[in-house]
Amino acid sequence: MQPAPVTKYRPFPPIALPNRQWPDRSHTRAPIWCSVDLRDGNQALAQPMSVEEKLEYFEMLVKIGFKEIEVGFPSASQIEFDFCRRLIEENRIPGDVAIQILCQCREELITRSIEAMRGAKNAIFHLYNSTSPSQRKHVFKATRDDIKAIAVQGTKWVKQHSAPLVAAGTRMRFEYSPESFTSTELEFALEVCEAVTDVWQPTVSDKIILNLPATVEYATPNIHADQIEWMCTHLTRRDRTLVSLHTHNDRGTGIAATELAMLAGADRVEGTLFGNGERTGNVDLVTIAMNLYTHGIHPGLDFSNINEIREVYERTTRLEVPPRLPYAGELVFTAFSGSHQDAINKSWAAQKPDAPWDVLYIPLDPADIGRSYKAIIRINSQSGKGGVAYMLEHEFGYALPKLMHKEIGKIINDFADAKGTELTSAQVHEVFLSEYLERTEPVSLQHFKTTERDSTVQCEATLTLDGHTHKLTGSGNGPIDAFVHALGSTSLPKFEVLSYSEHSLGKGSEARAVSYIQIKTDRNHTLFGAGIDTNIELASIKAIVSALNRTLAKK
């Protein structure tokens, strides 16, 4: 990096817009969406999709609900042309979906593109040419008038060569992009767009689409919004124009720039699923759509099975959705922090089915996009007792008593700390089983039986203690009390039972009982034991044995 002062770069100049309106507006509706995955996204892949992969992707986009889909650049390659033809000839395009193609302002490319669209019911011809000062100077070595003439002539060719398609029944709409709009002088971008509109002659019922791309993101989102509002207020035929956005993400603010530009008056948004595209990518349509949804505005797109959409995307593009990408990333509904886990657990328990969503740290109900609740809590050495308890309950059915949370939380944290990695739910379960339910040394219960007489319970128990068998008897006001008295005749530590709870594990005839018992030893140590059995009485006795084995292990 250049040391201060930085002279190599300069800030993007602000827009003179003293009466800007967008800062005081709120989103009230979804825009018109156009997916450019199959063109802009596909051309950015190291290994572009095959025709079969593009067909599968197209069907997914239709299922999601896109009504405008840019399917390719048919004049650029045979595979792009063939894909467009297959969509049309095999009747794969629903009647309410328009396919869009991209083309430069060259007559032979325009006629080739028209040929690819022959027989389509709904089509959008997307024409573009570059307009920025740097493009004019370094690439085209052309004047403003030269650049405007290219756009005007290209529009005339589209109108001329698409006439037979229109006569044959195709609804042909027209989109024009002054490529590199955001780095073009606003008055010149307006001049070119007005000249193109003069040629096309749109109507209120058949509007022209003026796409104003941030081909490279140079400015902050507020300046992008100012540029869009300036254009919206200066277009002479605004009522016959759909103002469209095509935002890239070079500064990492493509989503913010798009959302503010929507407030500034844009009607339409082009982008890709998960932000695929050249360099840093296009704006992520999933994030923008779900952002609207979490503000109570249905986007008109269905992402209720985001995992399936992500699977098709990753398989066909050979790209991976980043784990922290909003809504779709593997870890976005995940909390490692103990305090966060506790807050999620408590607020989730308090969430009423018909009330507005209000779960801490989770701005969207994962179920709305087909995500699993079990992914919310993840365990590492930073996790707390609430997260461990949540995982054991929601994935394995153990409703641990509140007083037990701290104990199991420390055990799991110590284990995670020793491993130095995140623990899977299976590992957490394995630690729980080995710590509480699978201990057989030094005490092992071989037999237990009770009888009741005159409100007193008598018990007979057979234990193995340090390899020796002991037959015990005892009496008390219940099985637990009787067993505690029976154990008093052994060399095991003396203790009292502080708390007891139980619940069923599973449903139906196969259900088992799980018991949790907290004991306090004669040395003032308190700890829990747990036991499982189809017999609820035996489950509680096993819980006492579990607690004793844990006590002796700590010695």
Structure tokens at 478: 């219940």
Binning pLDDT at 50, 70 and 90, where does residue 459 land?
Answer: very high
The amino acid at residue 232 is C
Classify domain 29-317 at the CATH class level. alpha beta
Sign of the C-alpha dihedral computed for residues 113, 116, 117 and 118 taken in this order: positive
Under 8 Å between Cβ of 53 and 45: no
Which 3 state secondary structure label does DSSP give 520?
strand
User: Residue 382: what pLDDT?
Assistant: 65
Which helix (H) or strand (E) covers residue 160, if one does? helix 144-167
Separation between Cα atoms, residue 468 and residue 449, nearest integer Å: 20
The gap from C-alpha 328 to its chain's centroid, in whole angstroms, comes to: 2
Spell 337-357 as b/e; 16+ CB within 10 A means b.
bbebbbbbbeebeeeeeeeee
Task: Please give the full DSSP string across 285-324, using - where no structure is assigned.
Answer: HHHHHHHHHTTT---S---TTHHHHHHHHHHHH-----TT
Q: Where do the domains of the chain lie?
A: 29-317, 338-436, 443-554
| Domain 443-554: which CATH number of 2.170.120.12, 1.10.150.300, 3.40.50.720, 3.30.160.270 | 3.30.160.270
Under 8 Å between Cβ of 123 and 99: yes
Separation between Cα atoms, residue 92 and residue 99, nearest integer Å: 11
Separation between Cα atoms, residue 58 and residue 79, nearest integer Å: 15
Q: What is the pLDDT of residues 429-455, one digit of tens each?
A: 999 999 999 999 999 999 999 999 888
Task: Please give the full DSSP string across 22-35, using - where no structure is assigned.
Answer: GGG----S--EEEE
Residues β-bridged to residue 247: 214
Q: What is the pLDDT of residues 299-314, one digit of tens each?
A: 999 999 999 999 999 9
Q: What is the pLDDT of residues 389-421, one digit of tens each?
A: 878 988 899 999 988 988 998 898 888 888 888
pTM over 0.85: no
